[in-house]
Amino acid sequence: MSYKLELSDLVRDGDRSITQQLVDAVAGAIESGELAGGEKLPPTRELAELAGVNHLTAVRAYRRLREQGLVSAHVGRGTFVRERAPTPAAGSVPDSIAWQRYALPEVEEDYARRVIADMHRQSQTEGLIPLSVGYPSESLFPVEGIRAATAAVLADEPHRTLQYAAVEGIPELAEQVAALSSAPGAPEDPRDVVITSGAHQALHLVARALLRPGDVVACESPSFMGLIASMRASGAEMLPVPSGEQGLDVDALEALLARVDIKLLALQPRVANPTGRDLAPERRERLVALARRHGFFILEDGVYSAHRFEGDPLPTLRSTGPAHVIYVDSLSKTVGGGLRVGWAIASGPVLDRIAGAKLADDMHSASLTQLLAARFIASGAFADHLEGTIPLYARRRDVALEAIDRHLGPLASFMHPLGGHHVWVELDLAVDERELLDEAIRHGVSYVPGGAMSVERQRSLGLRLSFCYCDPGDIDEGIRRLAAAARALRRRPARGEALPV
């Protein structure tokens, strides 16, 4: 009997629950071969209609089938029967890897992580202008300063460069980080610093230290896709808070707090990625007051804050509310991502939780890079380097904005970046974001699609263009290619809705 007929004949008052009967019917069809490996199952609403049950019962049934390893779910595509390991034929190669396809645990598709992987690959793709890449420009790397710091460390302390260090990091670097992060009247204590392998690891450690499945995280949207991916990996529920010209919408956050308790709010209040905007001063004060009143942590990501082109420098949020704010930063965007030097700064018991997560992760970050980073900063070379790069990045920003005006014209609106490496653009174009990205790559340019930087489904066609990595001529040409791709799609009907996230 077909499993669909079995679904329509469930026993409503039997010993087995309705959910278990659904599971048994589908599992039996898989076992008998009626449902083959790779075959798509009916959507949950269709399954519920077939069986005459409510939608949540169908959702629970598919969840149990996933837990049993019989099916897999893919965001935006549906639920599929998992492939089973083939029976080895006589004389076949004994070390076939085919069995791994069903033995490995299921991994949910993550749009943000896929875009990050694509970004790294696109930076090396010949003929492609990678406006997706937020790396610092290789032409501006402080190679001589790093060479001098490395030589000095190897001459003065060769054994420390190859020895284990404390999980929290090497003290000299913690002292320099504390000095960089301090605000007038609010000095940071080096003992509150945990050195990490880049800011991305710091984000992940904070998520692991604070969050458990069932917790709720509020996140400004749009935001850095790596931050979104790290929060989602914790299993916590993510809720968006809109962010715009004045930064995070604190009114929207307050309305959210009236409905739900949150454990953590994640944002970039100074020169945000992707908008390049700041959290307005009056919003900063209200935000910290809300954290005190409702008892939640604030995760403050400051990786672009040093690259300010306009306006006065702002202190960290942490300088106002150190008991509630965990600050994350790195040298990746200012010096070079290859150093993998980042940090988290926190106060109280949460600091021990972050250090414990670090210990479980990798024991400690590389001693050599910590020592040379400390020497590089202490020598004054870091400050000199930063001062020299800011005018050059500001010029690239101006080239990007001029190119958007010239090539995209009224089709595009954007926020004026006060600093950083990116500009957030919204296009008045009724097309699927996947179609536009595919067409742009065919025209020889890449960018980050807005869906990867949004916690919720996008209602407009947003995208991030990065202007730091490419030379000015390539920035202009890349945006010209993007405009050509947009014009090509305007002559075609849209294929479907935006990719869900």
Of 125 and 316, which is predicted with more confidence? 316
- pLDDT surpasses 80 at 497: no
**Per-residue confidence band for 116, with pLDDT thresholds at 50, 70 and 90:** confident
86 pLDDT tier (thresholds 50, 70, 90): low
More confident residue, 188 or 98: 188
Which element (helix H / strand E) includes 472? helix 472-490
Residues ≥6 apart with Cβ < 8 Å to 194: 167, 168, 169, 202, 205, 343, 344, 345, 346, 351, 354, 355, 358
What pLDDT sits at residue 380? 97
Least confident of 43-52, 105-114, 396-405, 421-430: 105-114
Q: Would you state the pLDDT for residue 501? A: 30
Decide: residue 123, CB within 10 A, 0-12 exposed, 13-18 middle, 19+ buried: middle
**Predicted TM-score of the model (pTM):** 0.80
| DSSP letters for 311-325 | S-----GGGT-TTTE
Average pLDDT in the 279-300 region?
A: 97
Cα–Cα distance for residue pair 154/150, rounded to 1 Å? 6
Domains of the chain: 3-85 (1.10.10.10), 111-134+384-490 (3.90.1150.10), 143-379 (3.40.640.10)
Helix, strand or coil for residue 448? strand
Residue position matching structure tokens 């536009």: 436
Please give the pLDDT value at position 263: 98
Residue 365, classed as helix, strand or coil, is: coil
Rounded CA-CA distance 4/500 in Å is: 29
Q: What is the mean pLDDT of residues 455-483?
A: 94
Q: What tokens were used for 406?
A: 């010239």
Section 177-193 average pLDDT: 95
pLDDT given at position 91 = 56
Percentage of the residues of the chain whose pLDDT score is greater than 90: 69
Residue 101 Rama label (left phi>0; alpha psi -120 to 50; beta): alpha
pLDDT of residue 500: 31
Please compute the mean of the pLDDT values over residues 158-167 and round it to a whole number.
Answer: 96
- pLDDT tens, position by position, 390-423: 999 999 999 999 999 999 999 999 999 999 999 9
Is the confidence at residue 77, as pLDDT, over 80? no
Q: Is 494 a residue whose pLDDT tops 70? A: no
Q: Supply the pLDDT for residue 102.
A: 65
Mean pLDDT over all residues of the chain?
90
pLDDT at position 87: 55
Vertex 278 angle, CA 277 and 281, to 5°: 150
pLDDT value of residue 499: 31
Res. 495 pLDDT band, cuts 50 70 90: very low
Asked if residue 439 has pLDDT above 70, the reply is yes
71 band by pLDDT with thresholds 50, 70 and 90: confident
pLDDT reading at 88 higher than 70? no
Average pLDDT over residues 103-123: 72
If you average pLDDT over residues 454-480, what whole number do you get? Answer: 94
Query: Would you state the pLDDT for residue 367?
Result: 97
Higher pLDDT, 360 or 94: 360
Residue 111 reports pLDDT greater than 80? no
Q: Measured between alpha carbons, how far is 127 from 84 in angstroms, rounded to an integer?
A: 40
pLDDT recorded at residue 427: 96
